[in-house]
Amino acid sequence: MSKVILHADSLNKSFGAVTAAKNINVEVEQGSVLGLIGTNGAGKTTFVNMITGYLKPDTGRVIFDGKDITDLQPRDITRLGICRSFQIPQLYNSMTALENLEVSYSVVSLIESHGSLFTKLDKAIPSYNKTVKALAEEALERFNLTAYRDKTARVLPGGVRKLLDIAMAMAVRPKILLLDEPTSGVSAEEKFDIMAMVMNAVKDGSTTVLFVEHDMEIVSKHADRVLAFYAGEIIADEPPEIALRDPKVIEFIVGETQAKMLQGAH
Ligand SMILES: Nc1ncnc2c1ncn2[C@@H]1O[C@H](COP(=O)(O)OP(=O)(O)OP(=O)(O)O)[C@@H](O)[C@H]1O
Ligand SMILES: [Mg+2]
C-alpha cells in the first residue's frame, strides 16, 4: 500500500435536522483517483468542503500528510497543497483567459516569495524559474485553451469555463486536487473530452484527484476507487467495477437501467 496522503477520520456534520456527513472514514492513497458519486443532497460537496476547510466538521478530524488540518483556514490548506474547483467556476469575469491564469500564477509567486505584496505580473516564480506570463501561456496550451487566450471570461462557453477554473487550481501544483462536478453544465458531447483533458493534465502519477461526478461512464473510466454517498453516509467504497454493481448503489444512486447499460459497456 502506498502512502496515505489524506485521512478523513470520523467526520460528522449536520445542518439543523439534516445529516450531511455521518461518520465518514476515508483513507486516500497518494496518486489515486477517487470518484465521488451520490444523488443530489447526498453529502458530496459537504465532504469536499470539509477537506478544503470551507466547512468545519461538528466532530472528527482531517489529516493531510500526517498533519491535522481540521482547524485551518481554506487559504492555509491551499498553501499546503490541497486545491479545488467549485460546482460553479470561480473566474474573474472581466479578465481574459490568459489574465485569469496570470492571477493564479501570481498568487503562487506571492506565496513563494514569502508574502511580498510587491510581486509584479512579470515576476519569475522561484520554483518554476519562469515568468508568470510564460506559465500562464503554457497552461493555456496544456488545457487546449489557446484559442480563448484573449477572450473575456464572461463570454466563454460552459466547458471552457470549467477547464479554465481547473487550470487555475492546478497553478499551485497541488498534491491533492478536488473537482466538484467538473463536467456539470457541459454538453454530453463535450463532457468526455473535458474529463480526458483534465485527467491528462493532472495525472502525473503523484497528484491525488477526488472528483464529484454524476455520469457513471466517466466515473468508471477515470476513477480507480469510488466513494458512494447516500444521506451523508458512504455506502460503498470500492473500485468502480465493484461499487457500480453494489445492490445499494444501484438502488439508491445508479438505478437498474443505467447499471445494465454500464455492465453492457464493460
Ligand atoms: N450551508 C448549508 N446550510 C444548510 N444545509 C446545507 C448546507 N450545505 C449543505 N446542506 C445540506 O446538506 C445536505 C448535503 O448537501 P451537499 O451539498 O453536500 O450535497 P451534494 O451531494 O453535493 O448534492 P449535489 O449533487 O446536489 O451537489 C443537503 O441536504 C443540503 O441541503
Ligand atoms: Mg454538490
One digit per residue, the tens of pLDDT, for the chain of length 266 reads 589 999 999 999 999 999 999 999 999 999 999 999 999 999 999 999 999 999 999 999 999 999 999 999 998 999 899 999 887 888 999 999 999 999 999 888 877 776 555 555 677 888 888 899 999 999 999 899 999 999 999 999 988 998 999 999 888 889 999 999 988 888 888 888 888 888 888 766 689 999 999 999 999 999 999 999 999 999 999 999 999 999 999 999 998 888 888 877 65
Q: Is residue 181 part of a domain?
A: yes
- Whether residue 22 is found in the same domain as residue 81: yes
Among protein residues, the one with the nearest Cα to ligand 1's atom 24 is: 40
Give the type of residue at 25.
N
Q: Give me ligand 1 centre to Cα 226, in Å.
A: 19
CB atoms near residue 66 (< 10 Å): 9
State the Cα–Cα distance between residues 245 and 209, nearest whole angstrom: 23
pLDDT value of position 264? 72
The three-state secondary structure class of 42 is coil
pLDDT on residue 116:
55
Q: Which of 14, 23, 40 is nearest to 253 (CA)?
A: 40
Considering only CA atoms, which residue is closest to atom 1 of ligand 1?
Answer: 15
pLDDT at residue 222, rounded to an integer: 94
Q: Does residue 182 sit in the same domain as residue 256?
A: yes
Neighbours of 185 (CB within 10 A): 14
Into how many domains does the chain fold?
2
Per-residue model confidence (pLDDT) at position 120: 59
Q: What domain range is 144 assigned to?
A: 92-155
Cell numbers 486536487: residue = 177
List the strands of the sheet with 4-15, edge to edge.
18-29, 4-15, 59-64, 67-68
Q: Which of 132, 168, 164, 170 is closest to 151 using CA atoms?
A: 164
Q: What is the CATH number of the domain that holds 24?
A: 3.40.50.300
pLDDT at 256: 84
40 domain residue, yes or no: yes
Q: For residue 180, which ligand has an atom nearest its CA?
A: 2
Q: Does any domain span residue 253?
A: yes
- Residue 108: which residues within 8 A CB-CB, separation 6 or more? 125, 171, 172
pLDDT of residue 119: 54
Same domain, 55 and 138: no
Q: Are residues 79 and 179 in the same domain?
A: yes
Q: Is residue 109 part of a domain?
A: yes
Residue 46 lies in a domain: yes
Tell me the whole-structure pTM to 2 decimals.
0.91
Residues with CB under 6 A from ligand 1: 15, 18, 20, 38, 40-46, 229
Q: What is the pLDDT of residue 138?
A: 94
> Do 80 and 151 sit in the same domain of this protein?
no
